[in-house]
A and B are shown apart, each in its own frame.
Chain A
Amino acid sequence: MPLRLLLGPQRPIVNLDSAVARSGIGDGPIGVISAAWQEAEGDIDDVQRLVLNPLFDLRIYERTEELFAADKRLHEAYRLRQDRLKEQQRLYRMRLRHLMVAARQTLRTEGEPAVVAAERRHAISQLRALDRHHLGQIEKVHARFDSVFTADSHALLSEYTAAIEDELSRFKTVLITGGNVVVLMNRLRLFGLDRLLQRKNIIAWSAGAMVLCDHIVLFHDRMPQGRRDPEIVDEGMGLLPSIVLLPDAKGRLRAKDLVRVKLLSRRFAPASCMTLDNGSLLLFESETLRDSEAAKRITRNGSFKRVRAA
């Protein structure tokens, strides 16, 4: 069964080396996907110094740039897709803001317990309905693009995908770094890596871990312009179902704002919201949790409980 080793932020590297050693992943070569670093892709010297396994960057970001430069039609279609996704996100955010305000107000308000509880449930169900709708719209945008640009029907894309698949076959384990989670997911999807990575052991931190979930939830309560409401930005690879991963939660979440935290947990239930802070570790064997350290789960009451392996 493939292993999934998930870690918190590693800039600078905190526990990658010790976690890999303790995971039982073995000592073979590891393929690296550092596309989330964009122009800095492949800058893995500090990782290589600490991890004993030989590392080989798959240059997913660079390959995408090459492919776009060579295939203007694909590039234009990709841009168009991104524009549609941005527009979809803008409209979702517009509606989300109001539902979030309403849901927070119902969580704060007092009154006849049974009446208030019913309104809270409904407010949260409306949020979930919007999230579902948004995911459906995103899926449609992807489907439209994918129906035209499949690896089978598009020669150059097919060539690149085959080359990556060929390289990937050398590795039992793939390491996915943190970075820009949207860029990462887009690149993985373009080359069908969501399919190719299913049987691999995966070591991933931060953004790299987020893309393994069912969907990718962006969150940040400490932006310079103020807190933002958590929003679903895309589907993930679905390798870790029913988990929402929250890297650097200590830095990004206002954990003391009980209503916000509670709402986060209830909105995405039954999925479990888990933090991945500095030094955290979660090790799954397929979908079963085998080991954990310092990772926490947010309860429906907004408290943080240590995640424990069965």
Chain B
Amino acid sequence: MNPTLRKLLRKGTPEPVDIDALIGELDFPLVDGPDVTFVFRGTADEVYLRCWISGLDTAQPFQALPGTDLWATTIELPKGSRIEYKFEVIAGGARELILDPLNDVIAHDPFGSNSVCQGYGYVRPEWTLHDPLARVGSLQSLRVDSSVFQESREVQVYLPATFRSNRRYPLLIVHDGVDYLRYADLKAVLDNLTHRLEIPSIIAALIQSPDRLKEYGGDDRHAAFLVDDLLPFMNEAYPLLGGADARCLMGASFGGVAALHAAWRFPEQFGSLLLQSGSFAFSDLGRHRRGPVFDPVVRFMNEFREHPGRPADRIFMSCGMYESLIYENRSLVPHLQAQGMELRFEEARDAHNWENWRDRLRIGLSWLMPGPAWMVYE
């Protein structure tokens, strides 16, 4: 048991006022080196920790602390870990998934929000936070007429603070771009990394699919949209550097699949790929068990693994160690390396979430698109 809770219970049943005082004083969950104790206060029949991370039970039961309305459970988290979680509270036959009422740290994603547990040693990187010294870029909202989808699609375009029409810029195309802005602070990250000269001034096209599970899952139409609609549009509208080496495709989860698939379908169009926690499901034998939405992904990945070609010159991949996709990501590495592509693979003690992807942007972007810091001697 956590030492603080043990101390509370040592003198017998604590008074509610003592519990109130304890809760007021401490940050939850209780992090004691690698041991992390989650605490729930309230009336319940059962309480579970739900954190959907690979390696732990899906539902970790809480123990009721005798004589109190407190429930607690302890897990071990290695240094630098970060996980997202909810509590499952069962009371009077009703089952409810709730955020941790004692923890204000919350991460958001398109499906809602989760409580965040920052294990010991985890510090949010300062370059993900707004830096008042960094000059801020701008966002423009435009519409691309898509011959492929027979409709116009919105694209948000990030322009660097020092944008000048007589310069030429590399292009970064970001799948789920609006989500990256909202949940992974992409704009602040681009502003900061540009300000620190860790990446060059770039133009980023942030795209968002209305049906991402279909279009991002290895769909030829999406790849054609990027090459036949978006690239000509961006080349027309902005001063971009020519050549594949000045174009990078990026995406997370299904967005990673979409990026890899488009580069595979149109080799020599994109010089580099930034793939975060790609949903690279495959099956060596028999059917996969990830559900029908993964059918096209598995078809593509099986074909890709058979005939990888050379989708790009440089690929940066990252994946959380606590994701079920870590196996698929790790196993893709030798396939890509065998094609002579320059590849960097980073693992993090994190799971399948936007903050993981945010925290890996510096290393990924600066490796794929190194900035002029190298040339600047103040």
Also in contact, A179 and B377, with CB within 8 A (given A225-B366, A225-B370): yes
Q: Provide the residues of chain A in CB contact with B168, threshold 8 Å.
A: 79
Determine, out of A128-136, A216-224, A298-306, the stretch whose residues face the partner at the interface: A216-224
A11 at interface, CB cutoff 8 A? yes
Contact across chains for B366 and A210 when beta carbons are under 8 A apart: no
> Which of B166, B362, B373, B378 is packed against the most chain A CB atoms within 10 Å?
B378
**B111 contacts across to A, CB distance below 8 A:** none
Are the CB atoms of B376 and A179 closer together than 8 Å? Answer: yes
Would A224 and B362 be within 8 Å (CB), given that A69-B166, A180-B372 are in contact? yes
Of B162, B373, B377, B378, the most chain A CB neighbours within 10 A belong to B377
In contact, A207 and B162 (Cβ under 8 angstroms): no
Q: Once the chains bind, are A9 and B370 in contact (CB under 8 Å)?
A: no
Report the separation of the CA atoms of residues A66 and B209 in the bound assembly, to the nearest whole angstrom: 42
Q: Shortest beta-carbon distance, B250 to chain A, in Å? A: 16
Report the nearest A residue to B196, measured CB to CB.
A224
Given contacts A68-B166, A69-B166, A223 and B373 within 8 Å (CB-CB) = yes
Q: Is the CB of A223 within 8 A of B366?
A: yes
In Å, the complex CA distance between A25 and B362 comes to 45
Q: Is the CB of B166 within 8 A of A224?
A: no
Cβ distance B101 to chain A, nearest Cβ, rounded Å: 38
Other-chain contact of B375, A75, A79, A233 (Cβ < 8 Å): A233
The complex places the Cα of A183 from the Cα of B197 at a distance, in Å, of 14
Name the interface residues of B321-378: CB closer than 8 Å to any CB of A: 362-363, 366-367, 370, 372-378
Interface residues of B toward A: which range?
A: 10 to 19
Q: Does A293 belong to the interface (CB within 8 Å)?
A: no
> Which A residues are in CB contact (< 8 Å) with B370?
223, 225
Distance A79 CA – B167 CA, assembled complex (angstroms): 10
Tell yes or no: B198 within 8 A of A by CB. Answer: yes
User: Whose C-beta in chain B lies nearest to the C-beta of A226?
Assistant: B367
Residues of A with C-beta under 8 A to B362: 224
A206 touching B162, Cβ below 8 Å: no
Tell me the smallest distance from the CB of B260 to a CB of chain A, in Å.
21
Known contacts A69-B166, A180-B372: A224-B363 contact under CB 8 Å: yes
Q: A39-B162, A68-B166, A224-B198 are known contacts. Are A181 and B377 too (CB-CB below 8 A)? A: yes
Instruction: Tell whether, in the assembled complex, residue A178 and residue B377 are in contact, meaning their CB atoms are under 8 Å apart.
Output: yes
Closest chain-A Cβ to B258's Cβ sits at a distance in Å of 24
Interface centre among A68, A207, A224 (most CB of B within 10 A): A224
A199 within 8 A of B: no
Given known pairs A39-B162, A68-B166, the reply for A206 and B377 (CB within 8 Å) is yes
State whether A9 and B363 are in contact (beta carbons under 8 Å apart), knowing that A180-B372, A224-B198 are contacts in the complex.
no
Q: Are B378 and A11 in contact (CB under 8 A)?
A: yes
CB contact between A220 and one of B162, B166, B245, B373 (< 8 Å): that residue: B373
A10 to B378, CA, bound (A): 7
Contact B363 A206 (CB under 8 A): no
A248 and B377 contact, Cβ closer than 8 Å, known pairs A69-B166, A224-B363, A225-B363: yes
Considering the chains assembled together, what is the distance between the CA atoms of A79 and B246 in angstroms? 15
Distance in angstroms from B349 CB to nearest chain A CB is 19
A181 to B363, CA, bound (A): 24
Closest to B245 in A: A90
CB–CB B378/A206 < 8 A:
yes
Chain A contacts of B375 at CB under 8 A?
A: 180-183, 218, 233
| Chain A window 276-303, contacts with chain B (Cβ cutoff 8 Å), 1 for yes, 0 for no | 0000000000000000000000000000
From B162, B363, B367, B374, give the contact of A218 (CB < 8 A).
B374
A22 within 8 A of B: no
Least distance between A55 CB and chain B CB atoms (Å): 18
* 14 further interface pairs, Cβ-Cβ under 8 Å (given A178-B376, A183-B375): A9-B378, A10-B378, A65-B166, A69-B166, A90-B245, A180-B372, A181-B375, A181-B376, A181-B377, A182-B375, A207-B378, A210-B377, A225-B367, A226-B367
13 A-B pairs whose Cβ atoms sit less than 8 Å apart in the complex:
A36-B376, A79-B168, A178-B376, A178-B377, A180-B372, A181-B375, A206-B377, A206-B378, A207-B376, A220-B374, A223-B198, A223-B370, A224-B366
Query: CB within 8 Å of B: which residues of A?
Result: 9-11, 36, 39, 65, 68-69, 75, 79, 90, 178-183, 206-207, 210, 218, 220, 223-226, 228, 233, 247-248
